[in-house]
Every structure is written in structure tokens, then in C-alpha cells.
Amino acid sequence: MSGRADGGHVAVPCRIAMVHTGWGACRVIAANTFLKRLRGFIGRRPERCAGDVIWFSKCSSVHTFFMGHALDIVFADKEGRVLLSLEGVPPCRIVWCRGASFVLERFSRGW
């Protein structure tokens, strides 16, 4: 797993959640600015981002508005325990999970 977040390292809870989801080795992109959080995967192509995961720290809800493809979304607590895992969330949805500390997103494998 690679990626830059908080000084060049992906936070330990994020790594734990990645292991629990079985998503394996991938590039983790930290959505650590307002614009990165707002954009997420909007305008990106799944074939170019197949190995990318976006990490939204301090987050318990996300949207899939303006997306052209379904997403897999994982909500986890501050320890990295997966609270909710959703596969194939279609565009134009809002999803949330009470108690989540961060969210992981990737393009659904069926794109």
C-alpha cells in the first residue's frame, strides 16, 4: 500500500481497515483539503484509477452525486474497525454511518 497522508504515511487505522476489507495493496489518496474532499472520484475514469482508494479522514458521510460509476465504500472507527461496508453504491446517493471516523472509497470492481 502506498500513498501520502500526514507526513507521507497512511494512518494506522486506515491500514487496519484496508486489511479487514481485503482490498489489498493499492494507492491511498488522502482527501485532506476541501477541494480534494469535494471532488473525490468525480471526473475520474475507473480504468485509470482501478488501484486507487480515497481516504476521507474525520468523515462519517459521503455522496456519489455527479459520479459516472458505482463505488465501494467502507466506514470505519478511529481504531480501524470496519463499521459498514457497501459495494456497488450507485451514483446520486448519500450514505453515512453513525460512529465512523473515516471513510474509504474505490471504484466498484464491476465498473
CATH number at residue 92: 2.60.120
pLDDT of residue 17: 92
| Reported pTM | 0.86
CB atoms within 10 A of CB 109: 12
Quote the CA–CA distance of 63 and 12 in Å, as a whole number.
25
Q: Which domain holds residue 96?
A: 2-107
Quote the CA–CA distance of 18 and 7 in Å, as a whole number.
19
How many structural domains does the chain have?
A: 1
Per-residue model confidence as pLDDT tens digits over 80-95: 999 999 999 999 999 9
